[in-house]
Each structure stands twice: as C-alpha cells, then as structure tokens.
Amino acid sequence: MVEHKISANSPIGVFDSGTGGLTVVRQLRDLLPNESVLYFADTGRLPYGTKPQSQVREFSVEIAEFLQERGAKALIIACNTATAASLSALEATFPGPVIGVIRPGAQSAVAAAGKDGRVGLIATDGTVQSGVYDRELEDLGLKSALVKQGCPDFVTLVESGLEDKDAVQDAIKRYMKPFHDSPVDALILGCTHFPLLSEYITDELPGVKLVDPAIQTVTTLKQMLEERGLLAGLGSQAEYKFFCSGDTDAFKKNLLMVLGRDDYPVEHVAW
C-alpha cells in the first residue's frame, strides 16, 4: 500500500453501497464546507443489506484501503449495514478517525424521543436482523423495545432515482404499517438512502420525528478532527471526487438528485 502523509487539508473518505451515502456528503458540505471529500459508491455490488456480514466486511476493508491510498485522513462508513459489519475492523486498521452512522443515529433518536419515549427503526434487513440498534439504544438508556421494519425495496427505489412514484407510495404504505400498529415518537432512518424518502414518510406518519443519523455523524466527526488537529482551515478550498464501481451515468443522475449537481468528477473503478 502506498503511504500518504495526511494533513488538515487531506480529504475525508466516505463510502456506501451506492447513492445513500450522498446524504452524508450533503451534511458534510453544509456543516464542514472547507473539507474535501473522496466518495466511493459500490454500486457494482449493491445491495449490501442482503449480503452476509463477512462479505460486507470484506468489501468495506477493500474500499477503506482504496481511500487510504488516495490520502483520506478520516473515514465515514456512510452505510448502516457496513457499519454493523465492519466498524471494529476498520477502527483497528485505518490510521485516522473512523466513524459509522449507527451510534450517532441512536444518540439522536434518544435525544428526540427521550429515554421514556418510543423509537422506531427502518433499515435494510441486514441492519434490522443484526440487532445493533437495539444494543446501542439499550446502552443509551432507552426503556421501551425498538419497533423495527426492514425495507429492502427502498434502496432499489432510491437507486433508480425515485422515478416510479406509484411504487414509492405503495412501498411507503406497506413498510410504515408497523408504526401505525405500534406508534412511535421518533423514527430512525437507519439506511443512508432513506432520508431521500423523508417527505413520503412524513406524509404517512405525521407528527413522528424523523432521525437522520448523518447530521450527528458529521457533528461527531468534526469533534474528532478538532481533537487531532485535522480540521481543515477556513481558507481551505474543498474539492470533491467520486468513485463508482457500477454505472457512472446512473450515479451522476443521483448526484444531481441528492447534491443538486452532476458535474463533479466521477471515476469508474473495476474491481
């Protein structure tokens, strides 16, 4: 592996199975506008949520090494499934700060609902079945049991650009039924694709606080960078570069949908 000397001006590495992690990049752009970003979308191997954790961990380590070789000073695992599968492994091997989206999401949910409140979770089947949010919320003092629903179709709908509105509405009604049967105060959007469905979910569950883990994730990363003297200075010029293991044209359409621009450089990576 090629070693790169990192500094405060080095980029932040971010990765996800596809488009969802761009919601984290959106928060980075808003909350840390001076930070440069390297983003890897593993669209050639998505979805992650239906794959064994061991395979997702293998993919995650491979991508982390790719981003490290390109000078990433920190790593955001912008995927709940990959966080559950690989956070510990990447913390042990990546030289800079590493953060996943699960702990920040759980913290935000408890803050939104209170320890006596009711919390729901929508995520991929892999994240739901891992029980990782149950454990985090219990550690944080949540008293009630988590109401959970796997939503595998959501990832496919987002990756296709949310073009089939009828299919989106049908999936929303189907997957939100458990939260009508067991009402919650806060709902964790436990996949980074899901904030792109917020308007639909709010229409179906009015009054429920939606928790986007990306916001707290970026806030926590900022603190980690400050502690290590790695926060980019105010005069730094942010640069964004994207890598994609699948169809780059389709990914550029989703860049436009999430970030409002499709003119960022996108490089295809063939594994």
- Catalytically active residues, by annotation: 79, 191
- Which 3 state secondary structure label does DSSP give 10? coil
Nearest Cα neighbor of 214 from 21, 11, 82 is 21
Are 169 and 200 a contacting pair, CB within 8 Å?
A: yes
CA angle 125-202-210, nearest 5°?
60
| Helix 102-113 vs helix 213-227: crossing angle, to nearest 10 | 120
CA distance 195 to 212: 6
Amino acid at 152: P
Give the pair of three-digit tokens for residue 193: 């694709």
Q: How many CB atoms lie within 10 A of CB 107?
A: 19
Nearest Cα neighbor of 25 from 157, 158, 199, 221 is 221
| 253, HSE (Cβ side, Cα atoms, 13 Å) | 10
